[in-house]
Structure 1
Amino acid sequence: MSGERVRHSSLRIGAPLMLVIGLAVSLFGFVEIASAEQELRFSLVRTAQSDSGDFLLGRNGWHEPPPTQHIAILIEHRGSRLLFGTGLGRQIDAQLDAELPWRTKRYANVRPVRDQLEEDGLEIDRIVLGCVRWEHVSGLADYPEVPVLASADSLSYLKVATPPAVLPSQFRHPVRWQSLEFQASPYREHRHSLDLFGDGQVVLVPLDGHGAVGLFLTLADGRRFFFRGDRLERDAGDALENVIALQDANTQASLGFYPRWVEGAGQ
C-alpha cells in the first residue's frame, strides 16, 4: 500500500510539473517571438526606376549609367512601422502633368509603396520625409491619414520652392504635418540629431540645403546604414567610415528589394 501511495503521489506531482514545464516552454517561445518583433529591420521598397537618358565618359569610353531606383525605406522597430520617404505614388503622372506637362517622363515600372504594402496587409504608422522634392514625396497623397514628420527647414523650403524641384500638386490634400525636433546631441560628424526610438538604432540628422534629413539605421549585429533623404544616387561625399551607403546601386542590388527584409544576424 505504501508503494502504491508513493506511485499515486508521483503521478499527482508529475502532471502539474509537466504542465508547468509546458507553460514555461510556451512562454519562452512567446518571449523569443516578441523579442524578434522588437528588433530593427528594414526593407528597400522600389516604387519605380528612371533612366537618365545621358551617357557618361569613363576610363573605358562612353557608357550609360545604371537606372536610378526610386526608393522608400520601410522600417519596423519596437512594434512600429514607418516609411522614410515615399518614392513615386499612384498619382505621379497627374502630379507632373499639372505642373510640367511638357516634361519627359523618364520613370517606368511604377509600383506605389501603398499598393505593395496593402497586398501584404501592412499599414503605416507615420512617414518621415528626408526631402520635400517631387521624387521623394509623390506617395504622400496615397497616405492622407498618416502623420508626416519633416524638418522645420524643409517646411520653410516648401513654401518658397517652385517646380520642377517641388510640385504644389503633390500637397493639395490635407497633410498631417509634424515638425522634427532635433537635439543638440552630436552623432558622428553631425552636431544635431534625433534618436527616434531612444535606443540609437534609428537616428535622423539634419543635412545642409533645403532642410534635407539623413537616416542612420543600426542593426542588432552592428551593421550601420546611411541614406540621404535628398538624393536618389550615391555621391562621393556619402562615403562614411564603417557605414554602408544605401544610395549605392550595388548595395541595393545585394540587399534586395521589398518583400526582402534586411535584419540583424540571428533574427
Structure 2
Amino acid sequence: MPEGDAVRRTADRLDRALGGRTLLATDFRVPQLATTNLAGATVERTATHGKHLLTRLEQPDGRRLTLHTHLKMEGSWLVLPAGRRWPKPAHEARVVLRVEGADAVGFTLGLVELLPTADEHTVVGHLGPDLLGAWTADDEDVAVRRLTADRDRPLGEALLDQTVVAGLGTIWVAEGCFVHGVSPVTPVGEVQDPRRLLRRARLMLQTAVRQGRPVTTGDRREPVWVYRRQRQACRRCGTTILAGQLGAPGRERTTYWCPACQPTTPPEST
C-alpha cells in the first residue's frame, strides 16, 4: 500500500494538472456515482490526510464538494495528455477528470466517494494527526499520547495504526525504528523519547516527498537500512537483519530490524 509520502506526491501531481482549473467532463465508473456529472466545477486543490486523498471542488452555484479517494493496495492516479491512450486497461478506471489539455484517471481505486467539503471530518476525523500535515504542537502532543496509550503494544503495531498517527506504512515503520535505534517489536512503554521518534519519522517522510522516493541511508544505490532486507547484513554493523510479524492474526504486517543496532530491550539510562 502506498505510504504517506507517495500519496502526497500523487496529490501534488493532481494539483499541478487540475488545481485552479475547470472540469470539462467527468466520468465516475463506480455504481454509486455513475450518473454524477461535475463538469463546470473548479478544482481547488487535492489535500491529503495520511493515505487519504481529498480533491476539493467548487460548483458553479458555490457549493463545495470533496472527492475522497484511497489507493488501497493497487490504486493509482495518472495524469495524461488529453486524448493519450491509457497505459492501463479501461475497465480498471474508476474516475476520469478532464480539464483542457489533460485527463486525470484514477485506476483500481480502493475507495471513491463524494461528500460536502464541510463533512470531510466524517471520513478522516477518526485518524491520528497527519505527519505530513501542519503538525502543530497540539498534533504532536495528541500523537505521543495515542502512541503511548497502551504500554504493552509493540511499537511497530502502534505506528502502523492510522488512528494513532497517519501516514506511516511498513517502509517508514521499519526505517524509522532503525534510525531511532529501537526494535519495532519493543513494547511502547520501553521506548525512549517517542516524541523524538515521531519527529524523525516526519522528517523522513518530508525528505521522501522532496526526493521522490525513500532514501533513508543517503545512498540512492542502497536506499534503505532494513526494509525487506531480511537475512542480509546490516549496512551499519554487519549483523543479519531479522523479519517478523506485527498485528492480529489475519491482518499481520511484516517488519524488519537489526537485532544489534535495534535492541528489543533498550540500555539503561546513565
Query: What TM-score, normalized to structure 2?
Result: 0.27
Query: What TM-score, normalized to structure 1?
Result: 0.27
Larger Rg: 1
